[in-house]
Amino acid sequence: MTEKEIADKLEELAKGIRDGKVLQENYNGGWQDVAYPRWELLVRGLRVKSEPKYIPFTADDWRKFNETIIEGEKQGEMHTVRWWCKNGCMLSTADIPPRSQFVTYQYLCDKYVFNATSKPVGKEVKE
């Protein structure tokens, strides 16, 4: 079975359980009603992997990011980190003349991604 077929089958079974339907199990080539399916064998130890969470960098982190290229809110608009302070950092574009913009670290984390990795401009929180 493909992953999609498995997902469809699990969805069908979950709907049946929610609707109070009787489930059956294929046993020795025939179908038999199952009063208490062994779901824990299927679901124990499984979960949907959560998306990584990011928190803003601080001024201490930014020492290593001078001249780092990041992608802005408008896709394809590149910015370079020019300088940083305790409240945020100054970005500039490659336009001629360059446009500069001061942003907070939270705003950067929410709206920008690293050009090289497409990950948010922030620290990944490990779970």
Identity of residue 22: V
Flag whether the pTM goes above 0.85: no
Q: Where in the chain is the domain with CATH 2.30.30?
A: 54-125
The dihedrals phi and psi of 56, each to the nearest 5 degrees, come to -65, 150
Least confident residue range of 42-46, 74-78, 79-83: 42-46
Check residues 16 and 97 and name the one with the higher pLDDT: 16
In whole angstroms, how far apart are CA 58 and each of 73, 91, 92, 121?
A: 20, 15, 19, 11
Q: Which CATH number is 54-125's, of 2.60.40, 3.30.420, 3.40.50, 2.30.30?
A: 2.30.30
Cα of 45 vs its chain's centroid, Å: 21
Q: Which two tokens stand for residue 67?
A: 């001249």
Q: What integer pLDDT is reported at residue 127 of this predicted model?
A: 67
> What proportion of the chain, given as a percentage, has pLDDT over 90?
2
Q: What integer pLDDT is reported at residue 60 of this predicted model?
A: 77
The residue written with tokens 């498995």 in the block is 6
Q: What integer pLDDT is reported at residue 19 of this predicted model?
A: 92
User: Tens digit of pLDDT for each residue in 4-16?
Assistant: 888 888 889 889 8
